[in-house]
Structure 1
Amino acid sequence: MTTSPPAASGAALVLFSGGQDSGTCLAWALDRYDRVETIGFFYGQRHAVELECRAPLRAAIAGLRPWRATLGADTMLDISAALATLGATAMTAEIEIETTEAGLPNTFVPGRNLLFLTYAAALAYRRGIGTLVGGMCETDYSGYPDCRNTTMQAMQLALSLGLDRAVTVETPLMYRDKAATWELAAELGGAALVEALRTGSHSCYRGERATLHDWGYGCGTCPACELRAAGWQRWRAARADFVDGA
């Protein structure tokens, strides 16, 4: 009978999409853990261009500090078929982005983060990793219920019980607005990390990467772009002393 290795105290698995938040979380994890692996998901997202950003952004972040030796394997999972059978959203189909009767943007993919964490925990179990790191946030966000801290706490308990092994779900951005997320990046990796995230990460729900704004690529009008742009502007206004490229 084969068994999985015991969870390593110095290891973490980062849910890494190629976006600003998950990129910041990757740097955060690399700064704290002895071994860091990443996992990404294709779920039929219309902004699948984010997946093209993953490898170069991952490499750029790892090269900014003595992190290259810390960064381990990357795993990509295709769960698009399963989610497609449950219905389309503005995140997974060419549907106009709007607010639903429930008060949520129709970019909400029901259960997405719950599935992500379940798959990530299963991989972490096999890899002997006890900590999952995700960019979920309930400060500057679109109101998704599966981004709330109470949801993360419940998932941490459920995963620990279901795997009969302690699972820790770390969400370093949970109470940071987007301005504070840019500031965290500056603290972790200076101007080089900020620039890597600004130009190398992707957040735009429409998958637009033709126009580079001061805050990064995007359409500029979807909820993700608006949050990212507003956070950048607040952060730059507060950090007049920050020198680009320093």
Structure 2
Amino acid sequence: MAEAQAQDGALVLFSGGQDSATCLAFALERFGRVETLGFHYGQRHAVELERRPVLRAAMAGLDPLWAARLGVDHLLDMPVLGQISETALTREMAVEMEEGGLPNTFVPGRNLVFLTFAAALAYRRGLRHIVGGMCETDFSGYPDCRDDTIKAMQVALNLGMEKRFVLHTPLMWIDKAETWALAERLGGAALVDLIIEESHTCYLGERGKRRDWGYGCGECPACRLRAEGFARYRASGAVESRAAAPK
């Protein structure tokens, strides 16, 4: 199975954040050709797009095999998604819970749209595997991050495109502490250091203050999840990151 996968190509939904960087490492370990896909949809934290090429290049530098496998990067401009989304990810508004129990950072249909375009691109590029950082263990309740949603999307995409895509969600059943640990298993302390220093997760796009887990406002849900997960990861006896001390 591992040998067969090594001959296959994969497309990774790569935003420039912690989760997608870990997913990229996951793909680079498993697939012979790995391409990446990002989306510019009017997100408030568009600084993540600036981190993508930095992360890609640095991750390729961690391992000659990864460098050989890492292929083309794609960036799709999709402003219409932001135009129809009145959310705290696409508008200047406070992050808060809404009446239905979801945070106002939920962009309706975002992952459904992303996966559809990813499959269309994978179809054209001859890539069978699609890798995304969706997770329903440590998440904000987003319905399009649930395992049932991803399974349903795989069925719909395969039927609608007459293909046999495989959607991989390596973070689906692990929390943020385990995501940090997975990064360490995949790329050692060097990958953990790289994710701390170069990735971006903060919903508000804040990169002014360097913290032990990276850059961010420290208050938004994404920052809190990342910080709490990093604290549990460090407390578990994981290898101490060389870049952990604030600069």
Q: TM-score range by the shorter chain?
A: over 0.9
Retained in 1: the 8 A contact 2:85–2:108? no
**1:178-233: CA deviation from partner (whole Å, max 9, x where unpaired):** 00000000001111000000111000000000001101100000000000000000
SS in 1 for 2:76: strand
Q: Tell me the equivalent position of 1:243.
A: 240
Q: RMSD of the alignment, in Å? A: 1.2
Q: Tell me the equivalent position of 1:4.
A: none
Distance in 1 separating the partners of 2:85 and 2:148:
26
Distance in 1 separating the partners of 2:83 and 2:201:
25
Q: Tell me the equivalent position of 1:5.
A: none
What is the TM-score of this pair, normalised by structure 1?
0.94
The AA in structure 2 aligned to 1:126 is R
Distance in 1 separating the partners of 2:232 and 2:173:
16
Q: Tell me the equivalent position of 1:193.
A: 191
Q: Between Structure 1 and Structure 2, which shows a larger proportion of helix residues? A: 2
Q: Tell me the equivalent position of 1:93.
A: 91
Which of 12, 21, 36 does residue 34 from structure 2 map onto? 36
**1:60-84: CA deviation from partner (whole Å, max 9, x where unpaired):** 111111211100000000111x213
Retained in 1: the 8 A contact 2:202–2:220? yes
Q: Tell me the equivalent position of 2:16.
A: 18
Q: Tell me the equivalent position of 1:153.
A: 151
Q: Tell me the equivalent position of 1:206.
A: 204
Could you say if the C-alpha distance between residues 166 and 109 of structure 1 is closer, same or farther in structure 2, counting changes exceeding 3 Å? same
Q: Tell me the equivalent position of 1:163.
A: 161
Which of 61, 64, 87 does residue 62 from structure 2 map onto? 64
Retained in 1: the 8 A contact 2:43–2:82? no
Distance in 2 separating the partners of 1:35 and 1:11:
5
The AA in structure 1 aligned to 2:37 is I
**1:18-50: CA deviation from partner (whole Å, max 9, x where unpaired):** 000000000010000000000000010000000
Which of 49, 52, 59 does residue 51 from structure 1 map onto? 49
The AA in structure 1 aligned to 2:25 is A
Which of 92, 106, 118 does residue 120 from structure 1 map onto? 118
**1:116-143: CA deviation from partner (whole Å, max 9, x where unpaired):** 0000000000000011000000001111
What is the TM-score of this pair, normalised by structure 2?
0.94
The AA in structure 2 aligned to 1:108 is F
Which of 177, 181, 184 does residue 183 from structure 1 map onto? 181
Shift of the alpha carbon at 1:9?
5.2
SS in 2 for 1:76: strand
SS in 2 for 1:75: strand
Stretch of structure 1 that moved more, 154-163 or 87-96: 87-96
Shift of the alpha carbon at 1:10?
1.1
Shift of the alpha carbon at 1:86?
1.8
**1:122-165: CA deviation from partner (whole Å, max 9, x where unpaired):** 00000000110000000011110000000000000000000001
Distance in 2 separating the partners of 1:169 and 1:232:
27
Report % sequence identity.
Answer: 63
Retained in 1: the 8 A contact 2:133–2:171? yes
Q: Report the count of equivalent residues.
A: 237
SS in 2 for 1:207: coil
SS in 2 for 1:158: helix
Distance in 1 separating the partners of 2:7 and 2:143:
30
Retained in 1: the 8 A contact 2:10–2:128? yes
The AA in structure 1 aligned to 2:240 is V
Which of 133, 136, 139 does residue 135 from structure 1 map onto? 133
